[in-house]
Structure 1
């Protein structure tokens, strides 16, 4: 408690110091703009009138630069006739990386630049329609496991202050410099985060398993498209689910680690959010379809099945995920993409925009399945167990429950992959989560294709036809070769 209070008091003092230095240097140098230094505060700075030559102004202080659009900076600002902007570099480290709270996925975060302040003489934060471009000199080069984070200092009443990424984005980094874009004027810095070392065994399992899953999903999708004897509503549902998972797994394999540029990473995270939500929505539709099928056995009414197929499937399957992702992106666009992966940020509860709908779908499907089992138990007790319709429905129930386990329970393991559960439990959970999830495509192919008698019969016809075609082609080639040899022989004899 005492440590927290000291930390809060230190942050408040730092916030006050930054504000004092900004106003003091700006007031002193605004009448005669130019470069200078202030030994009292340990700073170097440059002040410039924005309207001297053009709309754009470039300032440099202590090997750090800032480009600013003057028109936007002073629009609506009441600074009198002084259209002056100031860039200040603090040569001493007033703050460090410990005031950055979003350290998920990183072992350590530290300051990797001087702190710079950009001001036009106003105490309050100034927001801009066009970003300023800041180029920082790195205090040390980065590495393969490092991430550069552009931050600004945010004074808070309850915490005293903290480093925040709100309104700032990373553009690029090399061994000597880092460039950032920010949509406000404040005090800025570059933090360098050391990411966790990836488990090589888990990485291999993920890539090999996902590759197998993608192959199985591709074969399953081809089967559902080309196998005519099984074309029905169930096949359509299986096909859409397979396509969603196929695209999601492919994007995961190729884009989950593409954290730069940030805009691309955010797009990948949003698309993954949509594809996985769509997969769960189609799983919900499969549960609903199975429930209607079993219920129709009891009421002998198939009219609802036609309405289900025509009116609801595609709008629900692809529309609901689109609405969820659109609303989520409007509320928190900055929560798409982390410093280590292109996925949703776990802080501020944003992950519930994915886990919430998934949990609801799993619960609804559980209700469907319990009702299905109850109806089947009563129906089977009064009918011959060899009736094909009942037997097929029992198989459908088994398949759906198996699918629910893999698609539903595996994601529920994600709740235990947090720091609080301990390293050993988290590691075991990570392996279980990864293995079960990457085998989703394999399970769909096995359950809906290899365990389906009609599909196996079609496979047999396809392979038999292909074999006959290859055999016929081989025979024709042999006959052609023999004929050619005979012609050559006759030609030689005539010579």
Structure 2
């Protein structure tokens, strides 16, 4: 075996293998790199004291590695991987064969560790929770041992205090521009000297937060994958201000990273503006729905698309408003937050599908130079349109949940932007907007040729032009503002514009289809006159 000392003179261990550890290893990274080379080439087992000395020396040198790497992130990653590999190899040397069970713990300046081994004659149903000051782990080591031929297994658990200097939180690559903060110590969990390392069930890690918890931040349980932190196979089970529990389906090196917005939080004025605008929009959405449902429309007018656009957007805006008002109560309930995110995704998508359906109906109307005939209404019945309007959105959301269920439930109970999953929402929206644009161009071309047709009725053409104008306006006001969603993070002015345009969608629908509609205005006038005269019989008539 090898004895490690901090003197210049080499020492000889009981196994007869010599390793010289110089005093300069405390001050130069090159000496520590030589030590790492020696550890990597070791084939013999070191005694406990030598393992702890090596661990302490290697891990206390992380600051030297950081200085030597300077701005070279690749060098930092390489050094981090070597330190991890050496640490895990050293700790594996502490695993001892046992018939029952064995437990070894150690605490150093730079690392805490615990090794638990079980043998074929173990009498435990489960091993105790492995614990350090900053992290805990629950693992089914008994079940793992039963899957091995010699019915034995061992787990090595380490909690590093300086490893985050090498494996930085910035190595967690996300598509959105956020500030990443390491909220836990870096931990390592391995199964040394265990032939079959297949887990029988997910492993739960409990992290104690090492920094102040930001309730507006987004937590991610991550593991180190050679060159970056990734979330594959890991998820947050629950969290509070001091602890977070993660579940992972594999063992590796883990950490807890929080993402916070790089832009300043919205001002109180912006919050107030959002509340007022959304409430006004909801009231006018409701008035538009009442008008569509109660007023008498000319024969041939098909309002099914507009009614369902209002229902979808009214429900989505109302749900989003309530969620943000009670976010502090909803956010800790992760399942509820995920359900709300999925429902919002469905409602907004269905509104865009209905917008596309209305464009199709308008195209048919223009092509036939009239409102859709009764025969056409039989072919495009309300039931058929509803099936398309809601089933398409339901399928998109269902597929999204099936593929990446953990992508729902951001800090605002919406879709997480990591891994590009936001495109499950913006993708269909962009496709629908593009299809609508193509339809509207075709409609304009058709109307232009119709104007040259001397046999066409002027009233029909005029009516169709009005409908086309209103629908194009609807497309611009309801659809195009969502494009601003790509740029709102960079400017508070764009946030305000996006907020006003999207919150006032109900206002626009009410104005364009109710207030500016001569028939509806006349019915409003008659109803108001009846109410003022008190002649309820005449009003009912």
Shared fold (TM-score greater than 0.5)? yes
Alpha-carbon distance in structure 2 between the residues aligned to 1:430 and 1:58: 48
- Alignment of 1:337 with 2:409, yes or no, is yes
2:332 counterpart (260, 278, 293): 260
Provide the residue aligned with 1:479 in structure 2.
Answer: none
Higher relative contact order, chain-length normalized (CA < 8 Å, sep 6+): 1
TM-score scaled by length of structure 1: 0.80
Alpha-carbon distance in structure 2 between the residues aligned to 1:125 and 1:89: 24
Which residues in structure 2 correspond to 1:1-20 (within 5 Å)?
3-17=72-86, 19-20=88-89
- Alignment of 1:208 with 2:297, yes or no, is no
Per the alignment, do residues 45 and 382 of structure 1 end up closer, same or farther by CA in structure 2, a change over 3 Å counting?
same
Provide the residue aligned with 2:151 in structure 1.
Answer: 81
- Alignment of 1:240 with 2:320, yes or no, is no
Structure 1 residues 402-440: Cα deviation after superposition (integer angstroms, max 9, x where no partner): 10101222122233446xxxx4xx444333322221221
Cα offset for 1:463?
A: 3.2
Alpha-carbon distance in structure 2 between the residues aligned to 1:62 and 1:372: 69
Structure 1 residues 316-374: Cα deviation after superposition (integer angstroms, max 9, x where no partner): 10111111111122222222233x33222334332222222222211221222222222
- Alignment of 1:184 with 2:239, yes or no, is no
RMSD: 3.6
Structure 1 residues 285-324: Cα deviation after superposition (integer angstroms, max 9, x where no partner): 0000011111112799763343122564112101111111
Alpha-carbon distance in structure 2 between the residues aligned to 1:462 and 1:308: 32
Cα offset for 1:283?
A: 0.2
Cα offset for 1:447?
A: 0.9
- Alignment of 1:399 with 2:470, yes or no, is yes
Alpha-carbon distance in structure 2 between the residues aligned to 1:124 and 1:284: 58
Structure 1 residues 218-262: Cα deviation after superposition (integer angstroms, max 9, x where no partner): 121122222243586631111100000011111221225554333
Worse overlay, 41-50 or 201-210: 41-50
Per the alignment, do residues 123 and 24 of structure 1 end up closer, same or farther by CA in structure 2, a change over 3 Å counting?
same
Structure 1 residues 18-42: Cα deviation after superposition (integer angstroms, max 9, x where no partner): 5435634445899752241165973
Provide the residue aligned with 2:494 in structure 1.
Answer: 429
More helix by share: 1
Provide the residue aligned with 2:229 in structure 1.
Answer: 162
Q: Is the 8 A contact 2:135 2:208 kept in 1?
A: yes
Alpha-carbon distance in structure 2 between the residues aligned to 1:300 and 1:313: 14
1:306 counterpart (378, 383, 389): 378
Q: Is the 8 A contact 2:95 2:193 kept in 1?
A: no
Provide the residue aligned with 1:251 in structure 2.
Answer: 319
Alpha-carbon distance in structure 2 between the residues aligned to 1:291 and 1:449: 22
- Alignment of 1:280 with 2:348, yes or no, is no
Which residues in structure 2 correspond to 1:11-90 (within 5 Å)?
11-17=80-86, 19-20=88-89, 23-26=92-95, 33-37=102-106, 39=108, 42-47=111-116, 49=118, 52-55=123-126, 57-62=128-133, 64-70=135-141, 73=144, 77-78=147-148, 80-90=150-160
The number of equivalent residue pairs is 458
Worse overlay, 131-140 or 50-59: 50-59
Alpha-carbon distance in structure 1 between the residues aligned to 2:536 and 2:521: 22
Worse overlay, 205-214 or 239-248: 205-214
Per the alignment, do residues 64 and 416 of structure 1 end up closer, same or farther by CA in structure 2, a change over 3 Å counting?
closer
Q: Is the 8 A contact 1:117 1:188 kept in 2?
A: yes
- Alignment of 1:153 with 2:218, yes or no, is no
Alpha-carbon distance in structure 2 between the residues aligned to 1:140 and 1:79: 44
